[in-house]
Amino acid sequence: MDDTSLIRQHISDLLGPQGCLLAPDQRQPYEKGARYGDGRSLCIARPASVDEAAELMRLCASEKIRIIPQGANTGLVGASSPDRSGLDVVLSMERIKGVTDIDPVDRVVQAYAGTRLSDLNQALKQHELYFPIDLAADPSIGGMLAANTGGARLIRYGDVRHNVLGLEALLIDPPGQRLDLTNRLRKNNTGPDWKQNFIGSGGAYGIITQALLQVHPLPQQCATALVVPASLQAAALLLRDAERNFSDFLSAFEGISHNAMQAVLQHIPSIQAPFEPLPPYVFLIELSSARPRSADFDLEKLFGAWLEACFGDLILDAVIDKPEVLWRIRHAITDSVRQEGKVIAFDIAVPRSKLALFRDEAIALLEQSYAGVKVYDFGHWGDGGLHFNLVLPPHLADDYPPQRIHALRQEIYDLAVHKYYGSFSAEHGVGPFNQEFYERYTAPESQALAARVQTVFDPAGLLGLTRFGTAP
């Protein structure tokens, strides 16, 4: 029996047949990422408890085997996929799941890392609470922390980082050691906040096993509208006016381009066009409140009055409809655009006051240097995020080899980062897919410091594929 077969046997003995997947057809869903990443693993390890996960880490550390932490495998930068060596162990947290505590007074929920967002919110619903990170996917809680997920309602609730009170993690040095940071206090100014090292670092510093999350009252009324701005330049003024008028009631301000909307209507016939003809750009604006609707507090009436007052200067048209109707359009964009051709996806952020200028300049760049590429953008205009997604029609595939697509990507990133002081990864994090851009745009001093920290947590380089710099 060779070394790899022996290691597989040890892992199988530790975790059992349900906890160690060896057959290629069993491994494949864990080896291929949602968008990027398609490797080959030594095996898929699925521990059923934190103790089993800790023991697995000790085994892998003793054999110098790299571990690829994985939640629901919904990430978009390849961080949860193995490389092609066939030597990595994918550690799936999907069996370590469940909500263990809900405190309605503190508005805190404690859950294991493998718990899906949908299951978490289902458990919270009976207490009229929810975790308001809105996503088209259904990620695991551990994955959401590791990626510091954003979502469509960041404008009101912030990202995951803003809603984490505490967590527990397993360290690789010493191997399998539990680090208990499960503090549920909102105020605890007693030194370094170590949990922040594990949020947004993609599992590079340790494997999150549990989380304590701040949750919010479930909205009792919502008002949503698709709004056609007088111009994209007027969008910033419209956003500012909405914030001034509605303050904390404003929970989403999402942009949808003509092409993105057209793709949804073309590929999902059951969705009706909200406007005829479709405008160049629309915004999905949402107001919500935990206070029930009453004669003296009705968000739809307040919303309608505000929209009417904005007509002419800021708004050309608007449609008010049920939230589930309008959000169905927004959540259908990604899958619909994928059917238009090869997607060149971007997850960009710039100051929201500059979004329209950035978009105009990026489109002009494409028209000048990359003929035929179509823009299907949408995004979180309320927080400066833009999914500036492009589609390469099939008939142009020969004109755009990988090298040209890479050059296109770099030009768009250069524009966003260097001219508009933006980010090349607004909410998807850093992984093998965009590692080179992290190295291109992150200050050398920051990379050096991050590398030193990563070396402290993972001196042998056994956790994941992402490296935040090179230690001196």
Last residue of one domain, picked from the residues 32, 67, 92: 92
In a domain, 38, yes or no: yes
What pLDDT sits at residue 469?
A: 85
Same domain? 296 vs 235? yes
Same domain? 249 vs 311? yes
Same domain? 103 vs 198? yes
What pLDDT sits at residue 472?
A: 56
Gap between the terminal Cα atoms of the chain: 40
Same domain? 206 vs 232? no
Same domain? 255 vs 160? no
Length of the chain counted residue by residue? 472
In a domain, 282, yes or no: yes
Domain holding 213, by residue range, is: 99-217
Last residue of one domain, picked from the residues 156, 187, 217: 217
Tell me: the pLDDT tens digits for 274-333?
999 999 999 999 999 999 999 999 999 999 999 999 998 999 999 999 999 999 999 999
Average pLDDT of the chain is 96
Last residue of one domain, picked from the residues 194, 217, 240: 217
Same domain? 103 vs 74? no
What pLDDT sits at residue 134?
A: 87
Local mean pLDDT, 10-residue blocks, the chain (472 residues): 86 96 96 91 98 98 97 93 96 98 98 98 98 91 96 95 98 98 93 96 97 97 97 94 95 98 97 96 98 94 96 95 96 95 96 97 98 97 97 94 97 98 96 96 95 96 92 58
What pLDDT sits at residue 3?
A: 83
Tell me: the pLDDT tens digits for 58-112?
999 999 999 999 999 999 899 999 999 999 999 999 999 999 999 999 999 999 9
Query: 287 has which bridge partners?
Result: 223, 250
Within 13 Å and on the Cβ side, how many CA atoms surround 467?
A: 13
**Spatial distance between the Cα atoms of 465 and 433, rounded to a whole number of angstroms:** 10
CA 50 remoteness from chain centre: 25
What pLDDT sits at residue 1?
A: 54
Look up residue 456 and give its amino acid. Answer: V
Same domain? 87 vs 144? no
CATH number at residue 403: 3.30.70.2740
Same domain? 114 vs 213? yes
Asked whether 27 and 68 are in contact (CB, 8 A), the reply is: no
Cβ neighbour number for residue 366 with a 10 Å cutoff: 19
- Torsion over CA: 54, 59, 64, 68 (sign): negative
Q: What pTM was estimated for this model as a whole?
A: 0.94
In a domain, 404, yes or no: yes
What pLDDT sits at residue 470?
A: 76
Please give the tally of structural domains in the chain: 4
With a CB cutoff of 8 Å and minimum separation 6, the contacts of 396 are: 372, 373
In a domain, 452, yes or no: no
